[in-house]
Structure 1
Amino acid sequence: MSIRRNAAAAAIGIAALLTAPLLTTTGAAAQTKAFDLTPDQAGRVHAETVDAAVAAVSPDFNFVKDGVFTVGVSVGDPPLNTYASDAKTVVGTDADLASLVAEALGRKVEFVPVAWADWPLGLVSGRFDAVISNVTVTEERKERFDFSSYRQDVLGAYVALNSPIQSIKEPKDIAGLKVIVGAGTNQEKIVVEWDRQNVAAGLKPAEFLYFDDNGASQLALTSGRADVEINPNSRLAYAAAVGGKTRPVGIINGGWPLTAEIAITTRKGSGLADALTLAINALIANGKYRAALERWNLGAEAIEQSRTNPPGLPKV
Structure 2
Amino acid sequence: MSIRRNAAAAAIGIAALLTAFGAAAQTKAFDLSPEQAGRVHTTRIDAAAASIPAGFKFVKDGVFTVGVSVGDPPLNTYATDAKTVIGTDADLASLVAEGLGRKVEFVPVAWDDWPLGLTSGKFDAVISNVTVTEERKQRFDFSSYRQDVLGAHVALNSPIKSIKEPKDIAGLKVIVGAGTNQEKIVLEWNRQNVAAGLKPAEFLYFEDNGASLLALQSGRADVEVNPNSRLAYSAAVGGKTRQVGVINGGWPLTAEIAITTRKGSGLADALTAAINGLIANGKYAEALARWNLTAEAVAQSRTNPPGLPKV
TM-score computed with the length of structure 1 as normaliser: 0.93
Describe how 1:1-316 pairs up with structure 2 within 5 A: 1-2=1-2, 4-5=4-5, 8=9, 10-11=11-12, 12-13=14-15, 16=18, 19-20=24-25, 34-316=29-311
Matched residues in 2 for 1:18 and 1:112: separation? 28
Secondary structure at the aligned position of 1:54 is classed as: helix
Does the CA contact (< 8 Å) of 1:14 and 1:84 recur in 2? no
Matched residues in 1 for 2:64 and 2:75: separation? 18
Q: Where does structure 1 lack aligned partners over 5 or more consecutive residues?
A: 23-32
Matched residues in 2 for 1:191 and 1:260: separation? 16
Matched residues in 1 for 2:88 and 2:165: separation? 28
Question: How many pairs align?
Answer: 306
* Cα shift readout 1:160-186 (whole Å, capped 9, x = no counterpart): 111010110000000000000111111
CA RMSD, Structure 1 to Structure 2 (Å): 1.7
What amino acid maps onto 1:13 in structure 2?
A: A
Secondary structure at the aligned position of 1:20 is classed as: helix
What amino acid maps onto 1:167 in structure 2?
A: S
* Cα shift readout 1:135-179 (whole Å, capped 9, x = no counterpart): 000000000000000000000000011101011000000000000
Matched residues in 1 for 2:160 and 2:10: separation? 26
CA displacement at 1:61 relative to structure 2: 1.2
Matched residues in 2 for 1:243 and 1:102: separation? 32
What amino acid maps onto 2:64 in structure 1?
A: F
Distance 1:18 1:281, change over 3 A: farther
Give the percent of matched residue pairs that are identical in Structure 1 and Structure 2. Answer: 84
Matched residues in 2 for 1:88 and 1:178: separation? 38
CA displacement at 1:203 relative to structure 2: 0.6
Secondary structure at the aligned position of 1:166 is classed as: coil
Range with greater deviation from structure 2 (38-47 or 237-246): 237-246
Matched residues in 1 for 2:162 and 2:129: separation? 26
Secondary structure at the aligned position of 1:13 is classed as: helix
Matched residues in 1 for 2:259 and 2:226: separation? 22
CA displacement at 1:243 relative to structure 2: 2.0
Q: Where does structure 2 lack aligned partners over 5 or more consecutive residues?
A: none
CA displacement at 1:14 relative to structure 2: 9.7
Matched residues in 2 for 1:35 and 1:205: separation? 38
Does the CA contact (< 8 Å) of 2:64 and 2:97 recur in 1? yes
